[in-house]
Structures are given as structure tokens and as C-alpha cells.
Structure 1
Amino acid sequence: MYNKIETMLQKHLEEAEAYTVADTAPSALRRGEGTLRDYYIFKIDLCASTHFLARREHSTYLRLVHTYLSTVDQITQQFGAESSQVEYAGDGIIAYFPCDTVDAVDVLRAAYYCRYAAMQMKGRHSNFRGYEFNTKIVLHKAELILAKIGPWGGTRVTAIGRGLHFACKMESCVPAGEGRASLDFGKAVGRRFSRFLAGDYEEELVPVIPSTPPPQRTLMKPSGFGLGAALAQPTTVPNSLLAQFQVPPRPRSIADMASVLYDNPTSAVATPALPMERRTKMVRHKVAWGVIQAVECGRMKL
């Protein structure tokens, strides 16, 4: 088996090296080859479903997941998601909307209706009692690689890339029942539909650069030559400049050397840290479900 694994690794590595990223149609890709495309990434997960389904029968799991996944899949496809790119992981779905044929606002509408469908499942069946059907939704825009790789590499094109990793990690910032969109997705939405998104801010520590000049020391400005002339007139020199000419005493031991480095103003160890202050920064967007609902129901016009 060890030799077989070595053969497999070498074979697939050679495939990936022979065919890299090319500018071609997805249908013309060969195994191990990929092409770049811009996508809107939509990810939705049910919250706390693992705990709810842990003590339920397998038929309950099948009934709940089939109803939920099939409905969400059909909604996303009606709004332009590619049927060949949808991914399922437990009760989570990742759908891909091509940017060249789908508007970002339609992706937001698809997310709204998927969330609405999940909420409508509450109490629809007796086995669903006690479950809230809250969702977590992530929206992102990124350049992905369409590639023929993996076990289906000979027959199927799969979307991969760093943008997918970013979207999956962003889910950890989403509270139950809410949705988050990346800044790139927000730019694609545009100003006209900016009310569909609100700012999501975080605090960060930023160094404050002092605006006041360094303190000055008074010295004697020479007016001629010789030692007497050097004591004739006073002048001011910044402390930082004076520090360059201060020679510390020669250390006699390692302990003395450490003391010199600490006390020497030109040493990196002695450089004082800049004061820090807290500032808020928008890191992503919150999806305004209430605004989208008001527009979809006709109670608000854009």
C-alpha cells in the first residue's frame, strides 16, 4: 500500500504540473487544469441542528434535511446559482452565483428567501417541534478557480480558491439568525441598494504619533575658533540629536552591558512605546433583513 500511495501522489502531482490555470472555457478543461471566474459565494447553515438531531430518529434527520436542502437549492437556482456548483455539508449549503450573469442584489434576495423558508419549517411537522430553525448566512465576492480536480476530476468542474476559505471562516463572526457580507460583496451591491446592508464594526488599537516637537536642550553656539568661542553663544539642539553623541561607559560584565543597553536612549530596548488608542473600523456588513423584507413585500420603495 505504501508504494501505491507514492504512485498516486506522483501521478496527481504530474497532472497538476502539466495543466495549470488557463484562460479557457470550463467545458474545455482537462483533468488537473483550471480557469479563473468571479463568483458571489452564498453560504447558509442551520444553527444548533446537531444538538437537536442527536437524539432524534434517522427518519427525522432525513425528513428535516431533505426538506431544507431541497428548498434552499431550488431557491438559489431560481436566482441564478449554478446547479453544478452547489455543495452540501451536513445541513449547510454553499451556492455559487456567476458575477457576469447575476446581480449582487439578486444574491441578497436569494439569501432572504432561503432564510424565510427555513423559518417557515418551524412547527411544520410534529418531529420538528422544539427547534427554532435559525440560520447563519455569509455572502462574499471573490475570484475562484474552476478546476477538474479530485475524485470527479474527469467529469466534473469544481470551484475552489482562497475566497471560499475566507467565506467559511467569516461564518464564525455571524450570530444565530443573522447574516454577514464581506466588504467586497458590499461594493458589488452599490449605493442604490446600500440600505440592504449596515456596517459591522470592530475596535482596534492604533498607535498615536505625538504632534508636539521633542524637548530642546540649551548649548553654546561658537562665534569663532577655539574653546573660548565655543562658550560664547547659546543655541538649542534636539535631545534626539544629542543622544547620538553620548557614549555610554564601557561595560565590565554582562550585567553591566544589559544595564547600558537599557539606559542608552539610542538603544532599541530603550525606545519608548507610542501611546495607543482604540478606534472603530468597519470590517464587514450586516444584512438588514427587515429592509429587504419591506422592499420585497412592497412596503418600501428604493
Structure 2
Amino acid sequence: MEFVMEKVKEVLMILPNLIGYMMEKLKEVLMVIPNFFGYLFGKLEEVLMILPNSIGYLLGKVKEVLMLLPDLIGYLMGKVKEMVMIFPNMGGYIMGKLKEVLMVLPNLGGYIMGKMKEMVMVVLDSVGHMMGKVKEVLENLVGYMVGKVNEMLVFLQKSNLIGYLMEKVKDVQMVFEKLVRYLMIKFEEEFPADTRAEQLHHLLVKYVIPIISLVILVWFLYYFWRCCWVCLQKVIECCGECLRFCWKCCFGVGQTTVKMMKAPGVEGLRIPRLPFEANPAAYFRSLRFPPLLPLSKPLLG
């Protein structure tokens, strides 16, 4: 508060001098104003003295223009008359040229139609020539293919390949029929009609259901191997790393040779410096999956 009062006193002491300075400047401005107005009035008198002469000059120029105006109007009227006199001749000239064009137009139309007919004829000839060539190529191609097919048929007839194949098909069919007949006989022998239902039920319970169960178990184990074994392996690896770290921390193994550092992002934890410097990205990536991964590879390398 005392500081503010001191500043107010300083301002009050300076204020009279400031007001005096402003009054002096105001007096100087008031002394200059009469001279300024006198200069303005002098210039205004000069302009008023020059103004009559300027108005007279302008009026003289207007009179000269008015005196020249009749001559200009007469000149323009003469030019208009000349154009009116020339216009009939120009109209006759234009009409003559138009008649000539109309006379030439039928001949031009006939010439254009003749050229169009010639172009159409040329196009038709070209298309006919192309169609002939395509027809020749197709006939040659079809003839070549038919000849090759005939050659193959002749070869098959001479070599009796089709007959041989048909005989082999018949042999296979006979063997298949014999096999089916033999299997049916064996089925009838092994499973008589009177005890067939009981034997099939016994076979189903004794062999089919265990085989299906074994297949399901194998499939489940394969699925477990594909999906869960990797995760289990990671968990076992992380547990092993944790045990190694606890062993080193508790028994002091390697504390004198391995340089340690503060773990970034984890308060109160120290990790080996060399593994972190070798692969810092792996350490920061392991922080996203606590609590196992941050304590495994980033800590011990």
C-alpha cells in the first residue's frame, strides 16, 4: 500500500508539469490556426479570380462545337445517302451470288451422292473379300479337323483299341459283380438272418463306438496341440524365467558382473542393461501383457 501511495505522489508531482507542457502546445496550435486559415482564404480568392476566365474558355469551346455540329451532321447525312444508294446494288450482288450457289447446289449434291455410292461400293467389296477369306480359312480348318478325326477313327479301327477297352470294361464289371456276390455270401454266412440284429448290435457296441470315440479323442488332442500347447509352452517358459530371476535375486548370482538399470515404466524395479539396450522394443512390448511378460525376457534377456 505504501508503494502505491508513493507512486501516486510521484504522478501528482509530475502532473502540473505535464499540464503546463500541454497548454504550451495548445497555444502553439492556436497561434498556427490563423495563419492556416489566412492561407486557405488566399488560395480561395485565387481560385475565384481564375474561375471567370475558365468559364469563358469553356463557353467559347462550346460555341465552336455548336458551330461545327451542322457541318458534321451534313457529312453524316451524305454518307448515309451514299450507303442507301449503294445498298440496292449490294442487294442485287448478294442475290446474284445466292442464285449462283443455288444453281451449283444440285450439282454439288449429285457429286456428294456419287462419292458416297463409290465409298459404299468399296466398303461392300472389302467386306465381301474379307468374308471370302474367312470362309476359306474356316473351310480349311474344318477340313483339317475332319481329316484328323478320320485318321484317328481309322487308327482306332485298325488297332482295335475300342474293342480292347470295351473288353477290359466288361472284365472289370464282371470282377466287380463277383466281388459284390462274394461279399454278400460272406455277409450271409457271418450274419444269419435269425441272429443278424443281435450280431450287428454287438459289433456296433464292441468295435464301432470305440473307434468313433478314439477318432474324437485324437481330434481333440490334435486341436489341443494346435491351440493350447503354444500358450502352455509360453506359460512354462515365463515361469522358468521367473524362477531364474528369483534365484538370482535371492542368492546374488551374477550381481557383481551384470550392469543393472532402472526399469522404464515400472517403479522400484531394476533390470539388466545389456538385454534392454539390445532389444528395447521387446521390453516395451512386454509391458502391454502384465504380469508375466514384463518379468521374463525384458528383465533377464
For the aligned pair, the TM-score class normalised by the smaller chain equals under 0.3
Q: Which is bigger in relative contact order (C-alpha 8 A, separation at least 6)?
A: 1
- The two structures have a TM-score, normalised by structure 2, of 0.13
Structure showing the higher helix proportion among its residues? 2
- Higher alpha-carbon Rg: 2
TM-score by length of 1: 0.13
